[in-house]
């Protein structure tokens, strides 16, 4: 980028989230706002801010005709797209409350959310989605309108027999009066975001306009984002991290956003879009890391040595930039190593990535070191849906990848009982929708929000050490936070998913799901029948994997040893109820599923290693 310019809209000037959009449209009418892939022409299409304003006005006029009262709820069940933005902004400008839904969530879960929040209008992708959701939503009298965005499917005619259902193309007016300043209340409810619900039913987090605006603006005071930046959006907009940092923040900074077609096409989209900023979750980096590892195993010893030298020198270079390491002669090798190795890998990410924020879950330090060593600028952050969501983030000039960064400006943190991280933030929710008791459990009388995460604070940086509810207490009284162990074990190439267990027992074990391709390779290696699940109990296979896990846990305390394994080939998914829509493992559900295997496992003596 030749010249980078800032044009940040302050929280005070924006007032509300729809006020923020109106300010951006007026400031940058001819600048690029959104880039989307057009399936018909097979081309990427650009949308300017002025066009965004025209479209929002049409959606706002159509919503106004539904005679909804301010504060009533509308829901959006779409893939990331500019239409998601149009609907959201139109609803906010009408004083309505937006309920985002995960497109891969189960119908029964969506039915609960819509019933709990009394949704009046629902926007879905196409007729097939409505056919899947419709039976679960039967009897929900509050729902008065269902909007179908894509009317090209053959099934559309059938669903249109329901008088509540309309195609968006028929529902929208041909044109509408230009958007006007609403002067809404910044502290009015803007959205109800339902948490993942690793235990029990999801809870509706009530977030105001000011909550999300204040967090977006605070982040911009710590990390430079420019008008010339191009974000690539692929995390679901129903996820608060993507919504605040990947949608509202770019509007505030005047940056453009390109919408990836799908996770499966992400690699190709990165090449085509060539983003400068990316909001990601650790799983993205872990998958690329695993792919790199797999490719390296097939390379010559020289190429593996060259790769390791590159990441080692790159990491030293990074540490020196952070003023944590001195100069070393091997740094003179970086220009050559960068050209031979690093740039070939960063080119797969588009070659222009200026910064990438990783959040939503913990990022393994090993994975972070590899990517940072290759020149990929990863900034790990931390937050909760209840805090809109960002609490802390690393910044380019003070980046400690083992931590989740420093608190955002305006955010106060402290360590409470049981080493729990407590927070006070302008992004703090108003409470849980229809659940005052749960609100009182998480926000104490002094106004501190209890995160449920154990942490320590060193040199201003926050280090998450475990989840209080997930702490395993062994029979000898030793307390084991399983999160970091699971992160390390998941880096074993064959293991896709893992859960460390051992509550009340004398030793730790793990339940691990093997990748399909990796399992085939292992079965061939140990001369096992890959189609017979009994092969998973083979002693040589188990011993091999336990040894691989041992290597990943070598830097952990002595008690952090996995003695036995339960192996599975069935992935934990949202559909089978073992993952939340944000892909967090439902520990209790997994433990229930494997209850019999766990019982048998602990009746035997542990493998001694």
- Asked if 88 and 76 count as a contact pair (C-beta separation under 8 A), the reply is yes
Phi, psi of 370 (to 5 degrees): -65, -50
> Which pair of tokens denotes residue 593?
């599923």
Task: Examine residue 360 and state whether it is found in any structural domain, yes or no.
Answer: no
Distance CA 121, CA 76 (A): 9
| Tally of domains within the chain | 2
Distance CA 381, CA 403 (A): 8
The SS3 assignment for 41 reads coil
Cα separations in angstroms, 338 against 132, 346, 366: 50, 10, 20
Helix axes of 17-27 and 49-64: crossing angle, nearest 10 degrees: 140
- Angle, vertex CA 482, rays to CA 476 and CA 487, nearest 5: 150
Q: Residue 533's domain is classified under what CATH number?
A: 3.30.300.30
- Angle, vertex CA 266, rays to CA 265 and CA 270, nearest 5: 125
Q: What is the pLDDT of residue 471?
A: 82
The SS3 assignment for 322 reads coil
351 φ/ψ sector (left φ>0, alpha ψ -120 to 50, else beta): left
Distance CA 487, CA 609 (A): 21
Among all chains, which residue has been given the structure tokens 């100069």? Answer: 327
- Is the peptide bond preceding residue 376 cis, with omega within 30 degrees of 0? no
Of 195, 235, 201, 250, the C-alpha closest to 34 is 250
> Which pair of tokens denotes residue 4?
């980078």
Phi, psi of 119 (to 5 degrees): -65, 135
Name the E strands within 400-507.
Answer: 406-407, 412-415, 420-424, 431-432, 449-458, 461-467, 472-473, 479-480, 495-501
Q: Could you tell me where the DSSP H helices lie in 495-583?
A: 516-525, 539-552
Q: Residue 83's domain is classified under what CATH number?
A: 3.40.50.980
Contacts of 105 (CB under 8 A, 6+ apart): 574, 581
Distance CA 315, CA 321 (A): 10
Task: Examine residue 266 and state whether it is found in any structural domain, yes or no.
Answer: no
- Residues (pLDDT < 50) of the chain are 607-609
Query: Last residue of a domain, which of 145, 162, 184?
Result: 184
> Which pair of tokens denotes residue 592?
């229930």
- Asked if 500 and 485 count as a contact pair (C-beta separation under 8 A), the reply is yes
Q: Could you tell me where the DSSP H helices lie in 329-451?
A: 334-337, 343-346, 365-373, 436-442
Q: What is the pLDDT of residue 608?
A: 43
Distance CA 22, CA 254 (A): 12
Q: From the centroid of its chain, how far is CA 530? A: 33
Residue 99: enclosing H or E segment and its boundaries? strand 97-100
Query: Last residue of a domain, which of 162, 184, 206?
Result: 184
Task: Examine residue 574 and state whether it is found in any structural domain, yes or no.
Answer: yes
Phi, psi of 529 (to 5 degrees): -80, 110
Of 80, 19, 121, the C-alpha closest to 234 is 80
Q: What is the pLDDT of residue 609?
A: 38
Which pTM value belongs to this model? 0.86
Report which DSSP code applies to 246: I
**Burial of 538 per CB tally in 10 Å (0-12, 13-18, 19+):** middle
Query: Last residue of a domain, which of 184, 210, 235?
Result: 184
Task: Examine residue 173 and state whether it is found in any structural domain, yes or no.
Answer: yes
**Burial of 195 per CB tally in 10 Å (0-12, 13-18, 19+):** buried
Domain interval for residue 110: 11-184
Strand-by-strand arrangement of the 562-568 sheet: 495-501, 508-514, 562-568
Task: Examine residue 444 and state whether it is found in any structural domain, yes or no.
Answer: no
Cα separations in angstroms, 37 against 109, 112, 251: 30, 33, 20
Task: Examine residue 332 and state whether it is found in any structural domain, yes or no.
Answer: no
Phi, psi of 578 (to 5 degrees): -100, -10
- Angle, vertex CA 480, rays to CA 380 and CA 566, nearest 5: 95
The SS3 assignment for 534 reads helix
């Amino acid at each position: 980028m030749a010249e980078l310019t800032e044009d940040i809209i302050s929280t005070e000037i924006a007032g509300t989230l729809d006020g923020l959009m109106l300010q951006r449209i007026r400031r940058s009418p001819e600048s690029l706002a959104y880039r989307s892939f057009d399936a018909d022409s097979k081309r990427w299409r650009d949308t300017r801010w002025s066009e965004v304003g025209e479209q929002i006005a049409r959606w706002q006029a159509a919503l106004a005709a539904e005679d909804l009262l301010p504060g009533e709820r509308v829901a959006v069940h779409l893939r990331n797209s500019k239409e998601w933005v149009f609907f959201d902004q139109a609803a906010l400008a009408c004083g309505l409350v937006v309920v985002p839904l995960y497109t891969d969530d189960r119908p029964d879960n969506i039915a609960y959310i819509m019933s709990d929040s009394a949704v009046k209008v629902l926007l879905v992708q196409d007729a097939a989605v409505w056919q899947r959701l419709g039976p679960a939503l039967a009897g929900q009298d509050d729902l008065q309108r269902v909007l179908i965005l894509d009317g090209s499917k053959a099934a559309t005619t059938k669903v249109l027999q329901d008088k509540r259902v309309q195609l968006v193309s028929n529902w929208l007016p041909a044109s509408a009066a230009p958007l006007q300043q609403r002067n809404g209340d910044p502290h009015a409810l803007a959205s109800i975001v339902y948490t993942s619900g690793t235990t029990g039913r999801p809870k509706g987090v009530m977030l105001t306009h000011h909550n999300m605006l204040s967090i977006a603006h605070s982040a911009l005071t710590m990390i430079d984002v420019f008008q010339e930046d191009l974000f690539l959006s692929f995390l679901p907009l129903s996820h608060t991290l993507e919504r605040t940092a990947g949608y509202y923040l770019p509007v505030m900074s005047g940056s453009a956003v390109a919408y990836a077609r799908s996770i499966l096409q992400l690699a190709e989209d990165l090449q085509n879009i060539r983003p400068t900023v990316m909001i990601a979750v650790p799983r993205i980096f872990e998958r690329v890391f695993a792919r790199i590892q797999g490719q390296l195993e097939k390379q010559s010893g020289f190429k593996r040595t060259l790769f390791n030298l590159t990441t080692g020198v790159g990491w030293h270079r990074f540490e020196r930039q952070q003023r944590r390491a001195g100069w070393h002669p091997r740094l003179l090798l970086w220009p050559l190593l960068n050209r031979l190795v690093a740039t070939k890998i960063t080119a797969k990410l588009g070659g222009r990535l200026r910064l990438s924020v990783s959040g939503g879950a913990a990022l393994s330090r090993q994975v972070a070191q590899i990517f940072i060593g290759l020149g990929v600028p990863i900034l790990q952050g931390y937050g909760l849906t209840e805090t809109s969501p960002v609490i802390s983030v690393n910044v380019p000039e003070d980046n400690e990848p083992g931590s989740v960064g420093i608190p955002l400006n305006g955010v106060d943190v402290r360590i409470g009982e049981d080493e729990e991280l407590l927070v006070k933030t302008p992004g703090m929710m108003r409470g849980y929708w229809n659940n005052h008791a749960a609100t009182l459990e998480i926000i104490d009388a002094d106004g501190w929000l209890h995160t449920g995460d154990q942490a320590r604070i060193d040199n201003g940086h926050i280090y998450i050490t475990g989840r209080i509810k997930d702490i395993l207490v062994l029979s000898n009284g030793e307390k084991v936070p399983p999160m970091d162990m699971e992160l390390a074990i998941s880096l074993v190439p064959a293991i896709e998913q893992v859960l460390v267990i051992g509550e009340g027992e004398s030793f730790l074990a793990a339940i691990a799901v093997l990748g399909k391709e990796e399992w085939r390779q292992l079965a061939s290696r140990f001369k096992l029948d890959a189609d017979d699940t009994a092969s998973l109990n083979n002693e040589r296979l188990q011993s091999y994997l336990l040894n691989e896990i041992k290597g990943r846990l070598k830097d952990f305390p002595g008690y952090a040893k996995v003695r036995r394994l339960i192996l599975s080939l069935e992935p934990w998914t949202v559909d089978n109820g073992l993952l939340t829509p944000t892909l967090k493992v439902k520990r209790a559900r997994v433990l229930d599923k494997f209850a019999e295997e766990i019982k048998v496992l602990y009746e035997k003596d542990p493998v001694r290693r």
